[in-house]
């Protein structure tokens, strides 16, 4: 995969992880799991993810854990929560805690996984 295709694919994976976060949150609160409902919940975080991904120069840093992964994670949570409130939803402390933990595991975890897979691939081609 070329570098451009790689970072776009990783952004798509990150976006899917944000959608899974919204879907699981709605499901745990017995809210409607319609496509529109899930996207409505995910929208502030998807917008934040897009902004933070572009700020982090993904064509150079798409799988770096430090500082890119932490910047994208914390920025997505902070900006996503701010947008969520601006869109008229709430941001109770338990939601902030859960969003921070789940998105941290998803967004930083994805970078850890892709880094380990890439290293394993380099080792096997060097053998």
Inter-residue contact 88 to 66 (CB < 8 Å) = no
Report how far residue 24's alpha carbon sits from residue 95's, in angstroms, rounded to the nearest whole number: 13
Report how far residue 84's alpha carbon sits from residue 126's, in angstroms, rounded to the nearest whole number: 47
**pLDDT, averaged across the chain:** 92
Instruction: Identify the pLDDT of residue 61.
Output: 78
pLDDT < 50 regions, the chain: 1
Instruction: Identify the pLDDT of residue 93.
Output: 97
Instruction: Identify the pLDDT of residue 120.
Output: 86
Measured CA distances, 124 to 2, 16, 66, 70, 127 (Å): 20, 29, 25, 29, 5
Report how far residue 64's alpha carbon sits from residue 30's, in angstroms, rounded to the nearest whole number: 36
């Amino acid at each position: 995969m070329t570098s451009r295709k790689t970072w776009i694919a990783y952004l798509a994976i990150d976006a899917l992880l944000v959608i899974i976060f919204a879907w699981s949150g709605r499901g745990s609160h017995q809210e409607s799991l319609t496509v529109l409902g899930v996207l409505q919940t995910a929208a502030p975080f998807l917008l934040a993810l897009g902004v933070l991904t572009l700020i982090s120069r993904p064509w150079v840093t798409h799988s770096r854990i430090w500082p890119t992964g932490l910047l994208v994670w914390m920025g997505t949570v902070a900006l996503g929560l701010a947008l969520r409130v601006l869109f008229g939803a709430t941001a109770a402390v338990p939601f902030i805690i859960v969003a921070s933990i789940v998105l941290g595991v998803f967004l930083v975890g994805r970078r850890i996984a892709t880094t380990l897979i890439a290293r394993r691939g380099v080792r096997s081609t060097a053998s």
